Amino acid sequence: MNKSERYEKLYGELAALLAGESDLVANAANMSALIWQSLPGLSWAGFYLMKDGEIVLGPFQGKPACVRISTGRGVCGTVASTGKSLIVPDVRAFPGHIACDAASRSEIVLPLFREGMLIALLDLDSPEVGRFDEEDQRGLESLVALFLENLA
Ligand code: SME
C-alpha cells in the first residue's frame, strides 16, 4: 500500500469509528489508537488540548509525555502560536524542541480549530529523521477535518 492509499483506508476506518459519537475525548482516544496501529514508523501519536491558554496532554498512544507546554515553546507551542501545521524533519535542528522522548527524531503537529478557536493539536513523532512529508500533512489534515465534523 502506498502512502495515499494508506490514508484513504485510514479515512474510511476513522469515519466508521467516529460515526454517531461526538465526545471529544472518546473520539480523540480512538483516533490516536487508530493512527498508532495504522501508520508505520511512529513513536508517539496523540492529542494536546487547549485549556485556559495552556497546552495540556490529551489522549495518546506511546510513552508517557510532557503534560503541560507553554504556547510558543517547542513544536506544539509553535503550532499553537502560528495556527499552522508544522513538519519538523529533524527535531535536533529545531530550536526549543521539547524532548519528551530522546528517541524521537522527527515530528508533525497539526492545529484543530472549532468555530475559529484553537481547541487541540494532533502530534505524531517518529524515531526516523524525515518520516513526515506533505502527503502525510494532507492525509492527516483530512483526518482532522473528519474528527472536527463529528464533534457536538
Ligand atoms: N516534542 C513536542 C512535545 C510533545 S511530545 O513530542 C509528545 C514539542 O516540542 O512540542
- Kind and range of the H or E run holding 59: strand 54-62
> Is residue 101 very low, low, confident or very high in pLDDT (cuts 50, 70, 90)?
confident
- Cα–ligand 1 centroid distance for 49 (angstroms): 13
Quote the pLDDT of residue 21.
Answer: 96
How far away, in angstroms, is 125 Cα from ligand 1 center? 8
- Which three three-digit cell numbers place residue 109? 503537529
Q: What are φ and ψ of residue 130, in 5° steps? A: 70, 25
Atom of ligand 1 nearest to the CA of 60: 7
- Beta carbon of 74 within 6 Å of any ligand 1 atom: yes
Residue nearest to atom 7 of ligand 1 (CA): 65
Could you tell me the strand order of the sheet in which 106-114 lies? 68-69, 54-62, 44-51, 117-126, 106-114, 86-88
17 lines ligand 1 (CB under 6 A): no
Closest CA to 41 of 79, 92, 98, 3: 3
Q: Provide the CB-side half-sphere exposure for 120 (13 A, CA).
A: 21
Rounded-to-integer distance, Cα 98 and Cα 116, Å: 27
Q: From 94, 34, 83, 84, select the one nearest 60 (Cα to Cα).
A: 34
- Ligand 1 near 57 CB (within 6 A): no
Q: Global pTM?
A: 0.96
Test site for ligand 1: of 60, 94, 100, 106, most ligand atoms within 8 A of the Cβ? 100
The three-point CA angle 113-101-1 to 5° equals 65
Model confidence pLDDT, tens digit, residues 54-99: 999 999 999 999 999 998 899 999 999 999 999 999 999 998 888 8
Dist CA 91 CA 45 (whole Å): 16
Q: pLDDT tens digits for 23-45?
A: 999 999 999 999 999 999 999 99
Count of Cβ atoms closer than 10 Å to residue 145 Cβ = 11
